[in-house]
């Protein structure tokens, strides 16, 4: 785990809220809510919208919380918490983008373990929590259209998780648009989902080193993917 600067605790708190519910997470909800409110990085309206989710995580049965999380995020790719799923879809570009992102994490002091995909949004937010605020906002802005898309999609479902993306979008310094995400053809059952996702799995290990990855390179990749998606949708 990384130590968050005092100015970026909100990123760490939002990362926790998007994580699979555990007893530890539920016990920490009062601290998480207090950190978001005290720091004031997210808008006041976003903070208000988070209250139902915070209340649920603090009071509901853990099994019910876990079941709701799986229903929302594991049974449909439209709500996937993997960033490049929405940018690249099943394109081979997704693999290189994740390698580059993992290398950027490493250079910033966050080592990604073998069983973690670097585009997992809670991990992305964890990384932002340890970066200078200006840099964190810059990276956040490049993916803001995806966060806005997830906010819109989750708002149509119960569970309160749309409010987390409302808070994320409120931190971005530039307005986000929902156009440009890769269209996802969703299988209806878990076996089909597993089979489809196996095709896009990326293994990290020896031989995956890159020639270096800068913030500018990551931004260029995201902009190019967004541009291509807009062109294909036209």
Q: What is the H or E stretch that residue 31 is in?
A: helix 29-39
At residue 83 the predicted structure's pLDDT band, cuts being 50, 70 and 90, is confident
User: For position 84, what pLDDT does the model report?
Assistant: 78
Residue that is written with structure tokens 């530039």 in the block = 174
In the chain, the percentage of residues whose pLDDT exceeds 70 is: 66
Nearest CA among 81, 112, 114, 91 for reference residue 183: 91
pLDDT at 94 over 80: no
**SS3 label, residue 132:** coil
Compute the Cα dihedral for 41, 141, 57, 43 and give only its sign.
positive
What is the pLDDT averaged over residues 166-177? 74
Residue that is written with structure tokens 């149509």 in the block = 156
Structure tokens at 130: 């340890």
Q: Which of 46-55, 99-108, 158-167 has the lowest mean pLDDT?
A: 99-108
Q: Which of 17-21, 61-65, 85-89, 123-127 has the lowest mean pLDDT?
A: 85-89
DSSP notation for 153-195: HHTTSSSSTHHHHHHHHHH-SS----TTPPP----SSHHHHHH
Q: What is the H or E stretch that residue 127 is in?
A: helix 121-128
Is the separation of the CB atoms in 72 and 21 below 8 Å? no
- Over the range 34-54, which residues count as b (16 or more CB within 10 Å of their CB) and which as e? ebbeebebbeeebbebbeebb
d(CA 202, CA 69): 24
Q: Residues 83, 197, 203, CA angle at the centre, nearest 5°?
A: 75
pLDDT at 59 over 80: yes
d(CA 123, CA 35): 19
End-to-end CA distance of the chain: 42
Q: Looking at residue 8, what DSSP letter applies?
A: G
At residue 56 the predicted structure's pLDDT band, cuts being 50, 70 and 90, is very high
What is the pLDDT averaged over residues 228-234? 50
pTM exceeds cut of 0.85: no
Q: Which residues pair with 120 in a beta bridge?
A: 82
């Amino acid at each position: 785990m990384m130590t968050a600067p005092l100015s970026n605790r909100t990123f760490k708190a939002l990362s926790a809220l998007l994580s699979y519910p555990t007893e530890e997470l539920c016990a920490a909800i009062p601290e998480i809510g207090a950190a978001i409110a005290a720091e004031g990085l997210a808008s006041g309206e976003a903070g208000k919208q988070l209250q139902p989710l915070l209340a649920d995580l603090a009071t509901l049965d853990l099994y019910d919380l876990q079941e709701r999380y799986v229903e929302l995020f594991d049974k449909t790719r439209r709500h996937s918490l993997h960033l490049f799923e929405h940018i690249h879809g099943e394109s081979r570009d997704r693999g290189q983008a994740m390698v580059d992102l993992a290398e950027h994490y490493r250079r910033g002091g966050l080592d990604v373990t073998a069983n973690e995909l670097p585009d997992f949004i809670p991990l992305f937010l964890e990384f932002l929590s340890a970066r200078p605020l200006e840099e964190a906002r810059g990276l956040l802005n490049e993916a803001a259209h995806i966060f806005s898309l997830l906010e819109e999609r989750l708002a149509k479902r119960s569970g309160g998780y749309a409010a987390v993306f409302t808070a994320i979008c409120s931190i971005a310094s530039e307005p986000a648009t929902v156009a440009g995400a890769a269209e996802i053809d969703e299988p209806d059952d878990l076996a089909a989902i597993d089979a489809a996702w196996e095709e896009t799995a990326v293994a990290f290990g020896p031989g995956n080193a890159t020639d270096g990855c800068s913030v500018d390179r990551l931004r260029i990749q995201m902009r190019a993917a967004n541009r291509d998606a807009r062109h294909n949708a036209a």
